[in-house]
Structure 1
Amino acid sequence: MSAGTAYLCSAGGLLIAAAIKAWALRKNPRDPLLRAVTATLVVGALLFVTAAPPHLAAINALFGVPNIAAPIVYSILTAFDAVTIVLLIHWRGNDEARVTRRQTRLCLTTYALVVLAIWTLFAWGDAPVERLRDLDTYYSSTLWIREMVLLYLAAHSVAAVTMMVLSWRWSRQVPGTLKGGLLLITAGAACTFAYDLLKYTAIVARWLGHDWDWLSTQVAFSIAGFSAFLIAGGFVLPPLGQGAGYRWRALRRFRRLQPLWSEIRPEIPGTSPPPMAWWQPVEHRLMQRERDIFDAVLRLTPWFDRATGANVYALALAEGSESGRARSEADACVIARAVIGKGRSAPAVAPELRWTVSSIEDSDDLLDMSDAMLRSSRVEVTRQSAALAEPRA
């Protein structure tokens, strides 16, 4: 793989992550943290686009100044370091907004001064020979250009260490996908610091009369692309993981409600909307299923027999079931009997003889009632008893 292609692949990875964030930003455009993450990923992609050797040559030709692409790339890299640290500061949050603002101002001011110093040193220096991949080592002994290179590397190293420390400390305080994302950022920052160490080593080797440029042009280059993917993945993983986790929990609830929904399905009016297709968002399908269950329970209320519920509840308690589980099983039996009783045009139970189904008041209890509808043998016994009962005038 050529250097230009590899840089563009890294930029593409960051742009994909930015596109995912931009899609989320479309739904929540006022989220400042989401805007900051999107901007950080876009700046990172811009960095790899401009740093590709073919693009460096194009930038130099555009401005007509040899190696002017170097301070441009170094400035973008420095800006990326700054916004990444600011993003972590805001992502982590602070009880005092004043502290967050002070840290943000300090970071942005410091790195703005670094950018200004990079351009000043480049203007003072002399770099007439165009170097697209080994400028760091080729001019490692050139006055002012050497200082420019060391300055950008120092700022980059400080950012990498800061990212490692902040991400690692925070990852020890949070669970789940957020922890995983922070660990990815920590690993990416460690790779970034390794990139800097390789650059330092190659430069010092030049000072000592050795040619270890391959550490800078080959190994460090490979690590830079890998670190970009790790950092991008670290920023994208938490929201994706949280969204996937939410949808997975909704799907589990949807499936667990299937037995109860199937039981009351005959009570769903023909005028009600049909069940949503499987490709519709699962949270919408879950909402529709729960609404159908609540509506059916209301229509079945006049057929809820207190004697059936009390008998099943007492038997479940006698067998050692917890009160909540016993109540869910009793409710399931009452609903099963009511569906059959209503279907046979049996008369309504008098209000004072009705059983109150309380399992619909809590979503978890609703799931327990659906489980009882599927697994409890007493529900089937109740169905058979209701089917054999003589209709009452």
Structure 2
Amino acid sequence: MTTVYFYLLVGVLSVAFALRAPALVRHWRDPLVRSVSLLLPLGAAVFFFAAPPTISQVNAFTGIPNFSVPLVYGIVTAASAALINLTITWRGGPRDRRRTATRWCVGVYGALIATQFTLFALGDASEERLRDFDTYYATTPYVREMVVLCVLAYGLANLVLARLCWRWSREVPGLLRTGLLLIVTGSALSLGYVACKLTAIGARWAGHDWDGVSTTVAPTVSSLASLLQCVGLALPSASQCVMSLWRRWSRYRRLRPLWLTMRAVTPYELVPIPWGSSLGKRQLRRTCDIRDGLRLIAPRLDHHAQELDHHAQEGGRADALPATLHPDAARHVALVVAAFDTLHGTGADAGECSLESMLSGDDELLVRLSDALRVLAVPDHTGSPDSGRSSLLERTSDRV
């Protein structure tokens, strides 16, 4: 595996963590969010410190040959602990029980990390090895125990994660299931990495040289496994983010017909929205403009709602439009009234489609009103752009 590939994986994992960072900030108290988010920077740290140039720099900086080895193994062990904590959180159960299990996991794997550094200090690894440390020192006392201990701890964590995610994947649909299956595949490949490492080390113990399995095959399998696991972890959150953004944009776009009509009704000039405004600010501004216009024509819509219940007991000023409206506003008011008619004609509850509901913050109802307005204002089969609207105005002119 080339050096560029190490740093490429660091970039991919960093981007995956950046995608989850907003959720981590908003839901820091959620143990599941913390567990998933912690894995990504740990994975990036593993590949960053495992890259041969970084290994040389760390060894030179500390002045200790091969100091990068226990450092990388310590980060790998911490990532394994994070995997087990993730399985504990996903499994659910009583909070006290999960908290106790998490503490045990942190304690045991913390002791493993301390043991690895202790074994490295006791062993003799004075010759720097950038790529074949595991097999070169496979017969060195204390150092071989350190290597085997780390590999087994990593394999156990992936075995538990694969088993849990496989069970869960049979209970959930959609992209969440896809993400879980990617994690299962990555965990299975991680077990292949463990097998490669132990095979090469065992071959050294038997007097054979199978170093290529450890130095070439194992890193390639590990990189692919980590990539699949991180994509699987990020896929559900990324898809939810994209779908949420699409729904917000769709709602903003669907409000446009009603917003344009309200602009014609509103007697004052609307302040333009700044070019760099976010979608949330744009949607808030659009709904506020719409509600301002609806308040101006509230007498007409209120009168219409009363007609649906008890044949309009009042007339006169209640039927009149405000004098401050634009001279051509009656045509646009007719469109809104007809769209209001359409909502009530769809069988929806009158209370749900009332003017009070529209003005109280129900954005979904505004979207439905805008959709009805858009359908009513389209050209008819004659192809004339104004014919559909003209026929609509004829039907509603007796009300405005």
Tell me, yes or no, if the aligned pair for 2:261 and 2:332 is still in contact at 8 Å.
no
Residue 372 (structure 1) aligns with? 372
Query: Is residue 2:392 matched to residue 1:382?
Result: yes
Residue 320 (structure 1) aligns with? none
Displacement, 1:242? 1.6
Question: C-alpha distance in 2, partners of 1:94/1:120?
Answer: 35
5 Å-filtered alignment, 1:51-200, equals 51-90=50-89, 92=90, 94-200=92-198
Displacement, 1:63? 3.8
Residue range with higher mean Cα deviation, 200-209 or 19-28: 19-28
Question: CA RMSD of the aligned region, Å?
Answer: 3.7
Q: What number of residue pairs does the alignment pair up?
A: 354
Residue 296 (structure 2) aligns with? 299
5 Å-filtered alignment, 1:195-274, equals 195-274=193-272
Tell me, yes or no, if the aligned pair for 1:177 and 1:242 is still in contact at 8 Å.
no
Displacement, 1:161? 1.0
Query: Is residue 2:281 matched to residue 1:284?
Result: yes
Question: C-alpha distance in 1, partners of 2:307/2:267?
Answer: 26
TM-score (norm 2): 0.75
Residue 41 (structure 1) aligns with? 40
Question: C-alpha distance in 1, partners of 2:163/2:113?
Answer: 24
Displacement, 1:131? 2.0
Tell me, yes or no, if the aligned pair for 1:192 and 1:227 is still in contact at 8 Å.
yes
Tell me, yes or no, if the aligned pair for 2:305 and 2:354 is still in contact at 8 Å.
no
Deviations 1:227-271 (A, max 9, x none): 232233233333322222111111112222223333333123425
Residue 328 (structure 1) aligns with? none
Question: C-alpha distance in 2, partners of 1:37/1:269?
Answer: 53
Displacement, 1:207? 3.3
Question: C-alpha distance in 2, partners of 1:18/1:50?
Answer: 18
Question: C-alpha distance in 2, partners of 1:272/1:60?
Answer: 64
Tell me, yes or no, if the aligned pair for 1:300 and 1:342 is still in contact at 8 Å.
no
Whichever residue aligns with residue 343 of structure 1, its letter is A
User: In the superposition, relative to structure 1, how do residues 88 and 284 fare at CA in structure 2: closer, same or farther (>3 Å)?
Assistant: farther
Tell me, yes or no, if the aligned pair for 1:7 and 1:52 is still in contact at 8 Å.
yes
Tell me, yes or no, if the aligned pair for 2:186 and 2:226 is still in contact at 8 Å.
yes
Question: C-alpha distance in 2, partners of 1:248/1:144?
Answer: 56
Percent identity of equivalent pairs? 37
5 Å-filtered alignment, 1:7-22, equals 7-22=6-21
Question: C-alpha distance in 2, partners of 1:271/1:95?
Answer: 58
Question: C-alpha distance in 1, partners of 2:217/2:15?
Answer: 25
Tell me, yes or no, if the aligned pair for 2:273 and 2:282 is still in contact at 8 Å.
yes
Query: Is residue 2:342 matched to residue 1:343?
Result: no
Displacement, 1:153? 0.7
Residue 334 (structure 1) aligns with? none
Gaps of 5+ in 1: 311-337, 347-353
Tell me, yes or no, if the aligned pair for 1:340 and 1:383 is still in contact at 8 Å.
no
Tell me, yes or no, if the aligned pair for 2:123 and 2:140 is still in contact at 8 Å.
yes
User: In the superposition, relative to structure 1, how do residues 268 and 174 fare at CA in structure 2: closer, same or farther (>3 Å)?
Assistant: farther
Gaps of 5+ in 2: 309-324, 334-340, 345-349, 381-387
Tell me, yes or no, if the aligned pair for 2:49 and 2:72 is still in contact at 8 Å.
yes
Tell me, yes or no, if the aligned pair for 2:119 and 2:143 is still in contact at 8 Å.
yes
Whichever residue aligns with residue 382 of structure 1, its letter is L
Displacement, 1:82? 0.8
Tell me, yes or no, if the aligned pair for 2:16 and 2:230 is still in contact at 8 Å.
yes
Question: C-alpha distance in 1, partners of 2:274/2:268?
Answer: 15
Question: C-alpha distance in 1, partners of 2:186/2:281?
Answer: 37
Tell me, yes or no, if the aligned pair for 1:300 and 1:339 is still in contact at 8 Å.
no
Displacement, 1:107? 1.1
Question: C-alpha distance in 2, partners of 1:202/1:174?
Answer: 39
TM-score (norm 1): 0.76
Tell me, yes or no, if the aligned pair for 1:47 and 1:73 is still in contact at 8 Å.
yes
